[in-house]
Structure 1
Amino acid sequence: MSTGTPRRRRTVGVIAAGVALVVALATAAAVWSVRGSEPVATELALTGDLRTHDPALVAGDPDGDPSWYVFSTGDVRVGLGSIQIRRSDDGLHWEDAGTVWDAGTRPEWVYDVVPGVENFWAPELYQHDGTWYLYYAASTFGSNRSVIGLMTSPTLDPDDPAYGWEDQGEVWRSVPGETDYNAIDPGIVEDEDGTPWMAFGSFWGGIQLVELEWPSGKPADPQAEPITIADRVAPPNAVEAPYLVHRDGWYYLFVSRDSCCQGTDSTYNMAVGRSRDVTGPYVDRAGTPMTEDGGETLLETHGDQIGPGGQSVSGGYLAYHYYAESLGGDFQLSLRELAWDDDGWPVATTSSD
């Protein structure tokens, strides 16, 4: 994989076709199929370069670029472990679009905070006031010596002359013996007042939430104690990858549970809870708080897809990775329409699952 070979500009006709298909796909997401009274979500038939882990999806840039983007966990063998980028004109066929940084632009300070870091994990993309905020995590397996960093760019389009990622430094960290949580897997949401919040966490003390502020995209109070919003209660507290969605007066907390990164032995699965308040409590249909091992199962192992998780949501679509049994457990990208039932709960399965 290269680290940013310029892409040939698309013709007007290709752009128009891409826009039309994006509109069609978005319409399909909004008007889902119904068998009986149950909404049915549909998996998209993807092709191309799909080898992504912890995908952060942008389903069409709201600034007018019809391209879809997926940013994902890096690989130490490619671009110095930088966050990887893939791009699609239609949401179906995906191509390598390089990495976020190279030797001249990587965040060197991270290597002092987290000695031994090799690759960068679990990115999150959020746009505010014309700026794209790219949050990412740096850690090593089995340790909560971790940090969440931030980069910004005015655009996601690498063909735009304004494109370029600027290091904004540290957002939050965890330190063994000082913090009982793990500062990885950032997920951003704005509340009804426009205040940004960041969920994060993996194992240890569960999922945490801290208030941020614009335009820095950093903590409103760096000394604030995070709020715990999800916990499995018993060791090893296998919950991570929080993603928050604000819809129709509810805040939805999507998480991945159990174990990833073990190929066909992975037990990852997705769950969701909701709350009227961004700070919780998040509960499942039965009213069990997610701080007490609650959570409505959203998607689990099915067919060739082992251990789905590492999710994000954009434009009505759920993005996640899974471990393909047919590929010996290698990880792959999947996209699904995210439907909603009459009670306001997300649905990610089809009748064939």
Structure 2
Amino acid sequence: MVPCNLAILAGAALLAFAGTAGAQQAAQQPDTTLNDRLTGDLVPTHDPVIAREGDTYHVFSTGHGKRLIETRTSKDLVNWTAGDPIFTALPDWAKQAIPGSDGMWAPDISHVNGRYRLYYSVSTFGSNRSAIGLTTSPTLDPKAKNYGWRDEGLVVMSTKDDDFNAIDPNFIIDRDGRHWLSLGSFWTGIKLFALDPKTGKPKDPKAKPFSIARRPAPAGGPAPVEAPFIIDHGGYYWLMVSYDYCCKGVNSSYYTVIGRSKAITGPYLGKDGSPLMEGGGTIFLRADLQEQQRFRGPGHAGWLHDVDPRGGDAKDYVVYHAYDKQANGAPTLRIAPVRWGADGWPIAEY
């Protein structure tokens, strides 16, 4: 029989060994992220936005083929199921406004005055003859009796005579109750339009929009900036934009930066004070590290401030697409929780 004091020492040594082994094992097996657990219909997802209605999450994204505006749903943010597209053909106004276009891109979803507003883009690749349209529905649930999308027509249009490109819309209501739509891709960057709260369309169609982000072009080529999304948090407005090139599969160089401003009209600055109007900002989403190299070109980010109707703390998530090197560069749904650091800046846990 082992003396009592020796038994205690032996037990303590055994616990210490187990603790050390456990720590080493934990270090070798890092915690999985939400992205690691995503499953179901994740492909193709391009330019996603996300909303929650009741106990269901909804993702809307760029259309493919005759599926004009893709839809997906989930009860837990992990398991995703594709649904019917919002449109299967362009509205007549869009066919006339943008000849040669047969797709809908980059939707944005919000709930305003008892209806869901879905803004969408119609264009042809590489052109700034583009338009943003609006469709609305009282619910996102296709099984609900009152479900149904009503197209509200043209919101903003750009032509070769304009210095901006009317795609990639994002809607926000500021703290004073004013309604805004940010948009833009390439050309002179990201613009912000004041909207009529009743119609969801420009308050003054002749008014010049605010410029809130731009990348001055270097000699010999453009400096891409697109896909704006504005968040209201902690007394600041936060502007996310994507830099460089999407749509090249695993060769995409897309990444997402963020800046903040006390005023919704700017100026938006990165953590180091660099202005987004001069191609600055703080990197928020970037490609996997070189030793991983699976998901490339993360960008066109959307945001969800998730308030559970059953109670509990609200959580923030960023939704985006990235190109999966293990699936021939397929554009893939990605979602990451966001925590706010001690310095007040957001950190995506992806």
**TM > 0.5:** yes
Aligned counterparts of 2:78 and 2:178: Cα–Cα separation in 1: 33
Normalising to structure 2: TM-score of the pair?
A: 0.84
Aligned counterparts of 2:335 and 2:210: Cα–Cα separation in 1: 31
2:199 is aligned, of 206, 212, 216, to 216
Residues 271, 41 of structure 1: alpha-carbon distance in 2 compared, 3 angstrom cutoff: farther
2:56 aligns with 67
2:122 is aligned, of 132, 138, 141, to 138
Query: Contact 2:337 / 2:349 at 8 angstroms: preserved in 1?
Result: no
Shift of 1:248: 1.4
Normalising to structure 1: TM-score of the pair?
A: 0.83
Query: Contact 2:287 / 2:295 at 8 angstroms: preserved in 1?
Result: yes
Are 1:201 and 2:184 an aligned pair?
yes
Residues 236, 334 of structure 1: alpha-carbon distance in 2 compared, 3 angstrom cutoff: same
1:183 aligns with 166
Query: Contact 1:41 / 1:336 at 8 angstroms: preserved in 2?
Result: no
Query: Contact 1:242 / 1:254 at 8 angstroms: preserved in 2?
Result: yes
Deviations 1:140-180 (A, max 9, x none): 1110000000000000011111010001011101100x101
- Equivalences for 1:270-281 in 2 at 5 Å? 270-281=256-267
1:54 aligns with 47
SS at match of 1:109: helix
| Structure 1 runs (4+) greater than 4 angstroms displaced | none
SS at match of 1:219: coil
Query: Contact 2:56 / 2:73 at 8 angstroms: preserved in 1?
Result: yes
Query: Contact 1:268 / 1:309 at 8 angstroms: preserved in 2?
Result: yes
Aligned counterparts of 1:253 and 1:126: Cα–Cα separation in 2: 17
SS at match of 1:210: strand
Deviations 1:103-155 (A, max 9, x none): 5xx41110111111121000000111211000000011110000000000000
AA aligned to 1:206 is G
1:305 is aligned, of 295, 299, 302, to 295
SS at match of 1:260: coil
Deviations 1:314-351 (A, max 9, x none): 1211000000000111110011001111121111145x
Aligned counterparts of 2:32 and 2:208: Cα–Cα separation in 1: 38
Aligned counterparts of 1:223 and 1:75: Cα–Cα separation in 2: 34
Between 1 and 2, higher relative CO (CA 8 Å, sep ≥ 6) is seen in 1
Residues 41, 229 of structure 1: alpha-carbon distance in 2 compared, 3 angstrom cutoff: farther
Query: Contact 1:122 / 1:186 at 8 angstroms: preserved in 2?
Result: yes
1:43 aligns with 34
Q: Root-mean-square deviation (CA), in Å?
A: 1.4
Query: Contact 1:138 / 1:148 at 8 angstroms: preserved in 2?
Result: yes
Query: Contact 1:41 / 1:337 at 8 angstroms: preserved in 2?
Result: no
1:252 aligns with 238
Are 1:332 and 2:332 an aligned pair?
yes
Query: Contact 1:200 / 1:209 at 8 angstroms: preserved in 2?
Result: yes
SS at match of 2:277: helix
Are 1:317 and 2:314 an aligned pair?
no
Aligned counterparts of 1:121 and 1:237: Cα–Cα separation in 2: 21
Query: Contact 2:254 / 2:299 at 8 angstroms: preserved in 1?
Result: yes
Aligned counterparts of 1:346 and 1:215: Cα–Cα separation in 2: 33
Shift of 1:42: 4.3
Residues 41, 290 of structure 1: alpha-carbon distance in 2 compared, 3 angstrom cutoff: farther
Q: Note the residue ranges of structure 2 that are not aligned, 5 or more in a row.
A: 1-30, 307-315
Are 1:348 and 2:332 an aligned pair?
no
Between 227-236 and 150-159, the greater mean CA deviation after superposition: 227-236
Aligned counterparts of 1:311 and 1:66: Cα–Cα separation in 2: 23
Residues 249, 41 of structure 1: alpha-carbon distance in 2 compared, 3 angstrom cutoff: farther
Compare CA radii of gyration and give the structure with the larger one.
2
Aligned counterparts of 2:41 and 2:296: Cα–Cα separation in 1: 19
Identity of counterpart residues, as a percentage? 43
Aligned counterparts of 2:268 and 2:88: Cα–Cα separation in 1: 40
Query: Contact 1:136 / 1:185 at 8 angstroms: preserved in 2?
Result: yes
1:158 is aligned, of 142, 145, 160, to 142
How many residues are matched? Answer: 301
